Amino acid sequence: MATLSTLQQADIQHFIHPFTDSKTLGEKGTRIIERAEGVYLWDIEGRKLLDGMAGLWCVNVGYGRQSIVDAVSKQMQQLPYYNSFFQCTHPPAIELAKTIAELAPAHMNCVFFTGSGSESNDTNLRMVRRYWDLKGQPTKKTIISRDNAYHGSTVAGASLGGMSGMHKQGDLPIPGIVHIAQPYWYGEGGDLTPEAFGLQAAQALEAKILELGEENVAAFIAEPFQGAGGVIIPPSTYWPEIKRILAKYDVLLILDEVISGFGRTGCWFAAEYFDLKPDLISIAKGMTSGYVPMGGVIIADRIAEVIKNQCGEFTHGYTYSGHPVAAAAALENIRIIVQEKLVEKVATETAPYFQSRLQQLAEHPLVGEVRGIGLVAAIELVKDKSLRQRFNSDIGVGTWCRDLCIEHGLVMRSVGDTMIISPPLTISLAQVDELIEKAIKALNDTYAKCM
């Protein structure tokens, strides 16, 4: 049997990890996760961890769901693979498209399947440009996104995203994608009220459309709240103003719900939570709860009619678009969410409790702000609360806190000095208490280390 050190050695020698500095991997060693059940993970040394991140924001129904294993296994035996190109399809993909159409906002009734969130956003880029060509407005090509957005790691996904660190590697963004400021009041709002700042951030979209010319702007892409950017929840004035601007200039809305979809906000989709009417919704993650990879784009009727009736062949697709095994996992995952009323439970029970308990952390001397909606939240670690003053980024206070969380048996992610929590939707109230207690211990230890 492989030992911890032989596995770690092989890992360092042969495995280039995503979003990882391979050099520090060699210095620190990797944490090897071996099994999981419910909201808990166990590493290879037997340490039990409460997974406050649902993997990477994806394990909505929790780990160890035998019925998903059974559905996948049955589908593998019956039809492990077939494609949906060239006038073929198969029952699981058809059933899944119909199921998602029923859950999606009423004006959205079609789905294009992909293998991931990144592929979904690549699909969006091609689909909106094709749409405007077919509508006789071929100059409408530019997509406006936001600084510090995350839309994936493929060339189009990373270009659509606004992460400067990603743009520096690979000469991105590609042409035809521009970025405006993000609605991050705590970090960038200065002396403005959140409401005034929200309006100002939204009006940056109007200014950019006017600068480019509305005849050149295809779409605005945004996460309803920025996830990987640090759970940045726009002020209440932001989305209503964005809606007004998009309608005025006939610019499409691509809503990236890769994190927010499938219940995280206490609605099936955050479009409902923020009262938005998107033209395209990117989905992945919670679609299968991460049991197998799958993504997709939910398409508004206005777009779908044009693609269906005027496009001819839409020359886009992935070998694994609508993969039958992934579709079987997604169907069973959705069945669980419906049967266990997880979306309603988040809205009425778990999220209100989680958010109210989290607010207690705002009293902590290290915590500048706690913000969240549904079952997602951020805790900003600061040097001086009253001034919203941050620590020098070289110190890595967020990384200290993340590592101390692990010592107390909790997985939280750090984005700079912002701690992120996004647990499985199945977390119980007692487990929320456990999460908060562990977080307090980690915050205390981090504080002691900072002082």
Whole-number Å distance between alpha carbons of 259 and 264:
7
Site membership for ligand PLP, residue 228 (CB under 6 A): yes
Whole-number Å distance between alpha carbons of 106 and 277:
9
Site string for ligand PLP, 58-97 (x = CB under 6 A): ----------------------------------------
Report the residue from 177, 202, 258, 276 that binds ligand PLP according to the rule CB under 6 A.
258
Of 18 and 46, CB closest to ligand PLP: 18
Of 223 and 417, CB closest to ligand PLP: 223
Smallest CA-to-CA distance from 223 within 140, 124, 113 is with 124
Whole-number Å distance between alpha carbons of 99 and 243:
27
DSSP string, 297-348: EEEEHHHHHHHHHHSSS-----TTTT-HHHHHHHHHHHHHHHHTTHHHHIII
Q: How far is the CB of 288 from ligand PLP (least distance, A)?
A: 11
Residue reference for tokens 């679609």: 287
Report the residue from 49, 111, 205, 259 that binds ligand PLP according to the rule CB under 6 A.
259
Whole-number Å distance between alpha carbons of 354 and 367:
17
Stretch that binds ligand PLP, among 76-84, 87-95, 111-119, 240-248 (CB under 6 A): 111-119
Residue reference for tokens 């200290």: 400
Site membership for ligand PLP, residue 266 (CB under 6 A): no
What residue type is assigned to position 281 of the chain? I
Q: How far is the CB of 450 from ligand PLP (least distance, A)?
A: 29
CA angle 155, 169, 113 (to 5 degrees): 20
Site membership for ligand PLP, residue 223 (CB under 6 A): yes
Partners of 40 in the beta sheet? 37, 50
Of 285 and 408, CB closest to ligand PLP: 285
Site membership for ligand PLP, residue 225 (CB under 6 A): no
Stretch that binds ligand PLP, among 98-106, 254-262, 311-319, 429-437 (CB under 6 A): 254-262
- Bridge-based pairing state of the strands 252-256 and 217-222: parallel
Of 223 and 332, CB closest to ligand PLP: 223
Of 123 and 282, CB closest to ligand PLP: 282
Q: Which two tokens stand for residue 62?
A: 């929790």
Q: How far is the CB of 97 from ligand PLP (least distance, A)?
A: 19
| DSSP 8-class letter at 140 | -
Count the neighbouring beta carbons within 10 Å of the beta carbon of residue 338: 14
Site membership for ligand PLP, residue 116 (CB under 6 A): yes
Partners of 439 in the beta sheet? none
Site membership for ligand PLP, residue 373 (CB under 6 A): no
Using Cβ positions, the residue closest to ligand PLP within the complex turns out to be 117
Size, binding site for ligand PLP by CB under 6 A: 15
Partners of 252 in the beta sheet? 219
Report the residue count for the chain: 451
Of 51 and 256, CB closest to ligand PLP: 256
Site string for ligand PLP, 183-212 (x = CB under 6 A): ------------------------------
Q: Which two tokens stand for residue 41?
A: 């993970």
Site string for ligand PLP, 142-181 (x = CB under 6 A): --------xxx-----------------------------
Report the residue from 52, 92, 162, 227 that binds ligand PLP according to the rule CB under 6 A.
227
Q: How far is the CB of 155 from ligand PLP (least distance, A)?
A: 12
Whole-number Å distance between alpha carbons of 384 and 377:
21
Smallest CA-to-CA distance from 355 within 231, 194, 442 is with 231
Site membership for ligand PLP, residue 117 (CB under 6 A): yes
Helix (H, G, I), strand (E, B) or coil at 225: coil
Residue-wise burial string across 317-334, b where 16 or more C-beta atoms lie within 10 A, e elsewhere: bbebbbbbbbbbbbbbbb
Site membership for ligand PLP, residue 284 (CB under 6 A): yes
Instruction: Summarize as ranges the residues that interact with ligand PLP (CB under 6 A).
Output: 116-118, 150-152, 223, 227-228, 256, 258-259, 282, 284, 295
